[in-house]
Structure 1
Amino acid sequence: MPVRPLALAALSLGLAAAPVLAPALLSPTAAAAGSKRASIGNPVQGNLGYNAFVEHDTTLGSTEAEGPVATGGNLAFGSGYNVSLHNPGTFTAPGDDHPAALVVGGRIDYAGSSPDGVLKVLSNGYTKIGDMTGSLAVDRDVNNAQVNTQVVAAGTVHNSVPRIEMTLHQPTASVGPAPGLIDFTTAFEAFRERARAMAGCAQNVTLLDDAGHPLPDGPYPPGTVGHLTLTPGRTNVLHLTGRQMNALGEINFHNQPTKDTPLVIVTDTTAENGVFDWHNPNTAGISGPQAPYVLWDFPDATDLTMSSGDSLEGTIYAPSAHLKDLNASNIEGDVIARAYDAGPLVHGTSVVAGELHYWPFDAAIACEDTSPSPSPTGSPSPSPSPSPTGSPSPSPSTTLPAPTPTGPGGELPATGPGPALPLAATTAVATLTAGTALLLRRRRQRKH
């Protein structure tokens, strides 16, 4: 901590150095170093409740999303993909009377879709398309009878393929063009900032081996089983390297995440240059009901491929990454990604990806921030009676009330109105007191 050099000086120089550590002279930053608190809130706030929320282009190759989908770029799709199987969401465009279950900020990419592609928008949800170039919304069949609305390629007719079809009659003018319905750019600026903030959270949980010993800091052996016990009532944070993540065969939960006990798993892909081929571990002890309280943060990933693994419980938070799902197992949570391929298309045929289940992330993240603190400002005066002038006011992000440990590995809750006297300062004051007593005793001895 920043006060350590001053503490050493006090112990070696005695009375002359002791006044340097007077509490009034310690900057708030120095007193609270290592104790900053980051309140991030719900990291997915701004996704408007969409199961998949994507900044740029999306390919929905296979198989289905149980909730609504929004993409800021163009959309391609496979031979049979369902959107909003169970829930159309809550975001309703101005003038509409049904939720926008599918939002496309760009245009429909028919050439990039399967030749026989049919994307169904279910649960009475609407489709909103920003750029209708190359598309036509139709609500009449070839016999001019009114039918449920479809979006087909320009120059074609009802029931042609590739197409998007709704399960109700949506006014064709409501389909689009509907540009700027959602501000994806601003949303993703916030998402990336939150991803970096969570990467700065201090780790406060530890993976243990079968014998109850902490796993090593370095690489894990392939197939490692990690045991995890969460501390109730706080955000639990686990940091892994990409190599450690892929070596984990299983994370065994000894208790379950909840709304007030969420888990954030931060994966650092620096060693992979942001290009990460992910083999996600089995998560024993949790399932869908716990998924809203687990978040997989990839703050520096730019290309993230889900290659294999069991069903993933929780939200994938990769706002700077192109996420490619090649894994037939399901994702139970939200997807936040720069671009998204749910089963990429190869020559019009999709790679089988898992379903996207609608378990929206639903917890607020708050943690101890390990990002560097500003250096203490000003030099304290060494005079015996200094005046504490020019002391900076404490910043909410860097100054905490006096911490009280809650136990091994616990967070430090606020318990007082201002910075506590550091241990080093207490030691110095004790040294000052002892030195003064010794001096007085020697003076008395000389008089006698």
Structure 2
Amino acid sequence: MIKFSRRFVPVLACAAGLVAVAAPTASAYDGNPLDGTEGFGVFIHHDALLGSTESEGPVAVGGNLSFGAGYNVALNTAGSYTADGDARPTGLLVGGRVDFPGSDPTGVLKVLGDGYVKIGDPTGAGVLTTDANGAAVATHVVAAGSGYDSTPRIELSARQPAAAVTRGSLPDFDARFTAFRTRATAMAACAENVQLLDGNGNPYPDQNDLPPGAQVKIHLTADRTNVLRLTGTQLNRIGQLTFLDQPTTAAPLVIVVDTNATGHALAWNSPTFAGLDPAGISALLWDFPDATSITHASGDTINGTLYAPSARLTDLDASNIQGDIVVESLVHGSRTNTGPSGGEMHYFPFTAHVSCDGESSTPSPSPSPTPSATPSPNNGPGPSTSPSRSTPSSPSTTANPSTPATPGASPRQPAGPSPAPGEQLAQTGADTGTRWIAAAGLLTTAAGALALRASRRRRH
């Protein structure tokens, strides 16, 4: 038997102690996921139908726009995006064309707040700044060849020069939405740190199985990003969501909703919100990283930013949405007055900074002093992870998300971009893990050499 002197014990103990070393936790996301929306309260990749009733802030549509009998944009503010050479901010931006044939024949879309209009493709549109009598008046955008007061029309409260309607470059919607999808997926990897509490303030025994109409309360922690994960089924079982603490700019709340089990679609029956102050709405974000279709079917006002960059949002509920909206395409209400009406979209820009770590890795076992050449996979039993609380899987970047069947729409999924300045996306930590393994190998080799040396000394 080989015996070791005390001076060799610490070396061997160090090598054996590798079992306690855990891989460092990776940062999942760090930044403001709304960077790139240019201050628009509603930011849409492709086509939009603005049927009813209004958006109190500015609206940006990357594709084509159609509208209903009566719709208001920029009721309270025209926002902060002012194109080069313009005297006023843009209340309505259309990257494609205005679809007059696809709009209500009597439709009037009003751009208020003295906001301007920008149209990327003026095909089929005419811009008029004088009325039938030749008098200088507020600008109207009508179907080509139609009169000043014809319908359907876009009616401004400001007198914007006709050339300014189509002048200047517009945001690159494809690049922006590639970044938004990357961020949505990154935030879905954030470690969950918020529990669901019952009406008495006690944690639900099974966080994955809520009763229908559940009265849910949540505690938030100051000075960190709070993260809650739900499935679409769980979300629809919440009857009331009560905030025991307010989300803040320094301590926002990100709610990640996984719709994988329902085919990436959600018919949302929104809960009643309690205990949430107006300032807290601007620090609450709903992240739908894998959804391709969301319908606001019924329920109360939705509070917080709706961040679903791969989803078509259909809002046919009269309740409002209070927060930014980032979606692939939008149907807000009906094209005619005979259909269901959407609620109002209230302007609550997301102002918080999201900073969260990914799920911590389970410490790896110490390497054997004589590891096998081909490691065997671990097929033994382990802790079960419920699929209802899993990290959502994002839609394939090569697949086209669902979009409205509006002519001119061509869904695109560009390749993933580099992170925008000031933000950090997920890090794999592979290099760090490799260094730990190399260190373990060196220590094991050193221990073996020292043991052999000790043996030889004992023999002599």
TM-score normalized with structure 2 length: 0.75
Give me the identity figure in percent.
48
The answer for the alignment partner of 2:321 in structure 1 is: 331
145, 165, 178: which one aligns with 1:155: 145
Please say if residues 301 and 321 of structure 2, whose CA atoms lie closer than 8 Å, have aligned partners that are also in contact.
Answer: yes
After TM superposition, list the pairs within 5 Å mapping 1:10-89 onto structure 2. 18-21=13-16, 31-33=21-23, 35-89=25-79
Instruction: Confirm whether residue 187 of structure 1 aligns to residue 176 of structure 2.
Output: yes
2-structure distance, mates of 1:396, 1:247: 31
Question: For 1:87 and 1:146, how far apart are their aligned partners in 2?
Answer: 24
Shift of 1:302: 0.1
Q: Which letter maps to 1:211?
A: N
Partner residue of 1:97 out of 79, 84, 87: 87
1:341 to partner: Cα distance: 1.2
Aligned to 1:164: 154
Identify if the C-alpha distance between structure 1 residues 16 and 34 changes in structure 2 by more than 3 Å, giving closer, same or farther.
closer
What is the aligned residue count? Answer: 376
| 1:222 equivalent in structure 2 | 212
How far, CA to CA, are the matches of 1:214 and 1:109 in structure 2? 51
- Note the alpha carbon deviations across 1:31-89, whole angstroms, 9 max, x for none: 45262223321111100000100000011111111110001000011111111111111
Counterpart for residue 374 of structure 2 = none
Separation (CA, whole Å) in 1 of partners of 2:361 and 2:122: 49
Deviations 1:311-363 (A, max 9, x none): 11110000000011111111111000000111132x67552111111110010
CA distance in 2 between counterparts of 1:132 and 1:94 reads 18
8 Å CA contact 1:16–1:382 kept in 2: the answer is no
Amino acid corresponding to residue 129 of structure 1 in structure 2: I
Question: Following the alignment from structure 1 to structure 2, what is the Cα–Cα distance between the partners of residues 107 and 354?
Answer: 25
User: Equivalent of 1:273, from 246, 252, 263?
Assistant: 263
Q: Pick from 332, 340, 352: which aligns with 1:342?
A: 332
Kindly indicate whether the alpha-carbon contact (under 8 Å) linking 1:201 and 1:369 is maintained by their aligned counterparts in 2.
yes
Residue 134 (structure 1) aligned with residue 129 (structure 2): no
Counterpart amino acid of 1:206?
A: Q
Note if contact 1:105-1:131 (Cα within 8 Å) is conserved in structure 2: yes
Instruction: Decide whether aligned partners of structure 1 residues 181 and 350 sit closer, same or farther in structure 2, where only a CA change above 3 A counts.
Output: farther
Q: 1:361 aligns with which of 334, 338, 350?
A: 350
Whole-angstrom CA distance in 1 between matches of 2:21 and 2:11: 21
C-alpha separation in 1, matches of 2:112 and 2:160: 12
d(CA) in 1 for partners of 2:154 and 2:95? 15
- TM-score (norm: length of structure 1): 0.77
- Three-state SS of the structure 2 residue aligned to 1:324 is strand
What corresponds to 1:386 in structure 2?
none
1:80–1:219 distance in 2 versus 1, CA, 3 Å: same
- The aligned residue for residue 244 of structure 1 is 234
> Which letter does structure 1 place at the counterpart of 2:359?
T
**Shift in alpha-carbon separation, 1:238–1:266, aligned structure 2, 3 A:** same
Structure 2 Cα separation of the partners of residues 182 and 56 of structure 1:
13
192, 196, 202: which one aligns with 1:213: 202
Contact 1:250 / 1:284 at 8 angstroms: preserved in 2?
Answer: yes
User: Kindly tell me: are residues 365 and 253 of structure 1, through their superposed partners in 2, closer, same or farther at Cα, counting changes over 3 Å?
Assistant: same
Distance between the aligned counterparts of 1:208 and 1:249, measured in 2?
A: 13
- For 1:181, give the aligned amino acid: L
Counterpart for residue 291 of structure 2:
301
Unaligned runs of 5+ in 2: 1-8, 372-424, 430-435, 441-446, 452-457
Which runs of 4 or more aligned residues in structure 1 lie more than 3 Å from their structure 2 counterparts after TM superposition?
Answer: 14-19, 347-350, 371-376, 378-383, 395-399
Specify whether residues 379 and 360 from structure 1 end up closer, same or farther in structure 2 by C-alpha distance, changes over 3 A only: same
Provide the secondary structure at the position in 2 that maps to 1:194: helix
Change (3 A) 1:373 1:76: farther
Check the 8 A contact 1:35/1:398 in 2, yes or no: no
Please give the alpha-carbon distance, in whole angstroms, between the structure 2 residues aligned to 1:113 and 1:373: 56
Q: Is the 1:50–1:67 contact (alpha carbons within 8 Å) kept by the matching residues of 2? A: yes
What SS class does the counterpart of residue 139 from structure 1 fall into? strand
Which AA in structure 1 matches 2:15? V
**Cα distance, 1:212 vs. partner?**
3.1
- Residues in 2 aligned to 1:155 and 1:328: alpha-carbon distance in whole angstroms: 36
1:65-124: per-residue Cα shift (whole Å, max 9, x none)? 111000100001111111111111111111111111110000011122111110111111
- List gaps (5 residues or longer) in structure 1: 1-13, 384-394, 400-420, 426-431, 437-442, 444-448
SS in 1 for 2:282: helix
SS across alignment from 1:243: helix
Alignment match of 1:370 (pick from 351, 356, 359): 359
Q: Does residue 185 of structure 2 align to residue 196 of structure 1?
A: yes
CA contact (8 A) 2:213 2:239 kept: yes
Instruction: Return closer, same or farther for 1:373/1:16 CA change in 2, 3 Å cut-off.
Output: closer
Computed over aligned residues only, the root mean square deviation of the Cα atoms, in angstroms, reads 3.2
